[in-house]
Amino acid sequence: VVDDENVYNFQVAIRPSRTQGGQQVELPVCSGVLIRGEQVNPTTSVLEDAYYVLTSATCALSGSTLDLFIGKNEVKATATPDVAALQSSTAIIHPEFLRTFTKADLAIIPIDATIGAAATATALLVSIDDTPSKYLASRVSMSGWGYPNDVFKAPAPRLRQISSRVVPNVVCKLAHLGKPITGEHLCTAGLINKGPCTGDSGAPLIVQSTVNFSRSLKVIGLATLTPNDGCSRGRPGIFTRIGSYLRWIQTVTNYDPERTR
């Protein structure tokens, strides 16, 4: 459990909902991360900071509306979201996901007009490397509100974090027969109760990096193809490799890899 809200204050809890039988029904919380890009001010024609939530398309499309909780560790049913009832159609879905529903599981949600509601949040750096061997054996962490295990079949009330290492994709392919794992994915070692579970879609895979002689956190993957047949089996975690889609992220957000947070 993550107790210090300052450690993962880049993380965004996304609570989807949809109308069923005339009533609004809340769905399990999923995850995203806050990133900073730029946009042109229409009045001054000057580039200004703009903020976005980078998440999985699976998460963004799971409801008709989305509530966003920015930089919060605990998401109670009665909590007031920082961004309420955002239409899911606002999310920009990677076009390849709309064709395949398995590859490029990414979405970007523009929230520049509402970031003032989360002044304590920190934008996260984005991986720029798509080399297949990059990050192999690196120590990484993942955080999310997904099911803690197969016994507690409900989202975690507080943000939870686990540590692991990146393993070769062939390990994933052997453990997840039939799943379309490609070079655009990253995999983490399979440990009992230490991997993405139901509700962890979009959960970030984080690595420490050094930028301008200072250590920073960087998102290198987002949880995808999360298991629906049990999370306690010790299978490797599967993540969309962010570096493989950097050009698309830059096109949508004007993200500048040279800027530090």
pLDDT tens-place string over residues 107-139: 999 986 556 555 567 888 898 888 878 899 999
Any idea which residue has 């004007």 for tokens?
Answer: 254
Average pLDDT over residues 152-172: 87
193: three-class secondary structure by DSSP: coil
Q: Does the structure show a pLDDT above 60 at 168?
A: yes
| Residue 240, burial from CB neighbour count under 10 angstroms (0-12, 13-18, 19+) | buried
Its sign, for the CA torsion 229, 232, 236, 242, is: positive
3-state helix, strand and coil shares in percent for the chain, rounded to the nearest 5: 15, 40, 50
User: What one-letter code names the amino acid at 39?
Assistant: Q
What pLDDT was estimated at residue 113?
54
> What's phi and psi for 58, nearest 5 deg?
-55, -45
Residue span(s) of the chain under CATH 2.40.10.10 come to: 11-123+245-253, 132-243
**What is d(CA 195, CA 200) in angstroms, rounded to the nearest whole number?**
9
pLDDT band at 221 (very low <50, low <70, confident <90, very high): very high
CATH superfamily label, 11-123+245-253: Trypsin-like serine proteases (2.40.10.10)
Q: Does the structure show a pLDDT above 60 at 261?
A: no
pLDDT tens-place string over residues 17-56: 998 888 888 888 899 999 999 888 888 888 888 899 999 9
pLDDT band at 12 (very low <50, low <70, confident <90, very high): very high
Its sign, for the CA torsion 57, 58, 63, 67, is: negative
129: three-class secondary structure by DSSP: coil
pLDDT band at 90 (very low <50, low <70, confident <90, very high): very high
5 or 31, which is more confident?
Answer: 31
pLDDT band at 257 (very low <50, low <70, confident <90, very high): confident
**Is the CATH number 2.40.10.10 carried by domain 132-243?**
yes
The candidate with the shortest Cα–Cα distance to 248, out of 37, 94, 124, is 94
